[in-house]
Structure 1
């Protein structure tokens, strides 16, 4: 049979000699290993921290330190998740319990942390991923939560990393699940504890690690109670149940052992309590709330003026206290100052042109709360709001109402 020629026969003939030559060519010699570093700094000194190890090595980067304030920030991170469920309309109560052993528990009747397998980590439940992975959560877009206090996906995982013992119980679809952790590491797989009735939501119970916070570190009931109560004022649709074991309460401590906190009056009630007994320049509190259509955000405020220069402002964004202020406070100052200037000019007051924000704010007690989508904060502890749009949102929400309030009460103005 004659040999069949094809188009590739000539190509093979041309390539084969080159291939043969290539086989006998020597491979280039490997580069010699560099000599040991004379300055003691080499590749061996480069560490790669995995999982939650960065949190334990540098807790200050995540909770601002290891002092008493940082200790209580753990509670803030956990209750913020429950508050997000309440604000989203999925939870009606939150229970906070400080037990005799020093454990702090936060329980809500929300949807419960998902427990099915995570699509990216199929060998782990979503609960385990959330609890053991930085930047894992359902708040990076607005699909699950319209507004939320947890934003970076690090809060509850940081609490887990800094707790010597933590357990999470989730009730979903009439089934109870549980998983235990120690210093951020699972102590076992997610457990199915069987069927439950009349229960749903998430319960997080944790004990701060003495290796991080010190052997004498303890939560202060008064601080915990104040933090829990402020959450109830900030969102009138939630009931917060407070329980504290008597072992933590001294005779001088006026913190209740049990309390049910619910304040439908919101910030106005909060301010009334805060300034009780102080002489006021104005009898009425200037208070109000503006909600964006569709429920995608809101601005609530309460302002009172009293004698003396000991004014204050407590501000919040998505129920997170912004103790260093931020852009929402700028919007408030702008609205109050401009409105008061305009009113003074209309009234023929010669000092209208020199009215400054300090004149308006120095003797005022102010509560301000905003709910906005995807807010930007300075730092992980979220103490200062940086969202520029908040200036316009707060200014436009408050100014018209303040104009009407001044016009309607000329004696107080």
Structure 2
């Protein structure tokens, strides 16, 4: 299975899958809690629970029979969650039905279905305990989950998150999305101009990018794909790097067509959405789609250039950065 291990990061992938099962159905709120070893996630997501002619239930026992707008990674997340849980309880309002399902070690123990009227709003409550016969992890810090949900709140600005672990309750919501994230992560740096910020959708790719030149050497860029991380990078990141290099060349920051000596790096964040992701490896660590590299490079170069052309004062300020040099130290 795709969680990759029985150790800490395998447990993390297992829990992330449970969160994604809700997030990929576009809720407006999501609450996450942990008490006495049991995780509980509540949201107003429509889990699209369905029972097929053979009696199996999607998304916890089988995948959808036909691909549709709902046939997404979250369907795999449901079956993985069930397979690796010592116990799993599901309450859901979906498709004008109310579902109550209990599982023990991947096997269904009970199922109750009640008809609901058309005014019943979507709702889901998933409560689960990781199977101790599978996972070796005995202890983990609650800060893992607070940090994870806080990061998700930047990447999902339309969702309000609540987290309660060991009596510590926090709420996270950042309406400006990665712009708010950029304000946080760029704080240690001295930004040298107004950040370049755009969002574009083309060829089934949605890219939002915000970046600025800063006073430290070296580029520091964070990238997210489909609201998550590819921890080993991939073609989307090589495309981003190539696009930023093209912008450097276009700005002629060294003057007279000579590239400057990189006294100033870039700090930035990219969030990319793409339905046809191909992962390298079983734990979704690296993106290998060959088409993404030239596509991301082209969009980053074009849209950044467009933004700069619409902000001539910023363009002039950026070009001045490349003309600065430290004076030679006086000889003693």
TM (normalized to structure 2)? 0.83
- Of 294, 298, 301, 1:399 maps to 301
Q: Distance in 1 between matches of 2:44 and 2:282?
A: 27
- 1:241-320 correspondence to structure 2 within 5 Å: 241-246=162-167, 257-259=169-171, 261-276=172-187, 278-292=188-202, 296-309=204-217, 311-320=219-228
CA RMSD in angstroms, aligned pairs only:
2.9
Structure 1 pair 64–206 and aligned structure 2 pair: CA distance change class (3 A): same
Q: Distance in 2 between matches of 1:186 and 1:69?
A: 27
Task: Work out whether 1:227 is the aligned partner of 2:167.
Answer: no
Shift of 1:370: 1.0
Shift of 1:279: 3.1
Q: Counting helix residues as a fraction of each chain, which structure ranks higher? A: 1
Instruction: Please name the residue that 2:39 is paired with.
Output: 104
Structure 1 residue runs without a partner (length 5+): 1-60, 247-255
Q: Which runs of 4+ in 1 moved over 6 A?
A: none
Tell me the SS of whatever aligns to 2:278.
Answer: coil
Q: Distance in 2 between matches of 1:201 and 1:390?
A: 36
Q: Which has the larger radius of gyration?
A: 1
Shift of 1:191: 1.3
Please give the per-residue CA displacement for 1:128-161, whole angstroms capped at 9, x wherever unaligned. Answer: xx3234xx248x84x3149x5x27x532222222
Q: How many residues align?
A: 314
TM (normalized to structure 1)? 0.68
Shift of 1:333: 0.9
Larger deviation, residues 267-276 vs 199-208: 199-208
Instruction: Please name the residue that 1:330 is paired with.
Output: 238
- 1:72-83 correspondence to structure 2 within 5 Å: 72-83=12-23
Instruction: Please name the residue that 2:326 is paired with.
Output: none
Structure 1 pair 174–384 and aligned structure 2 pair: CA distance change class (3 A): same
Q: Distance in 1 between matches of 2:128 and 2:157?
A: 27
Tell me the SS of whatever aligns to 2:16.
Answer: helix
Instruction: Please name the residue that 1:205 is paired with.
Output: 127
Shift of 1:274: 1.7
Task: Work out whether 1:126 is the aligned partner of 2:126.
Answer: no
Q: Distance in 2 between matches of 1:200 and 1:326?
A: 36
Structure 2 residue runs without a partner (length 5+): 320-332
Tell me the SS of whatever aligns to 1:167.
Answer: strand
Please give the per-residue CA displacement for 1:272-329, whole angstroms capped at 9, x wherever unaligned. Answer: 11232x1324232222211249xx5410112233333464332222112111111111
Tell me the SS of whatever aligns to 1:411.
Answer: helix
Q: Distance in 2 between matches of 1:273 and 1:318?
A: 21
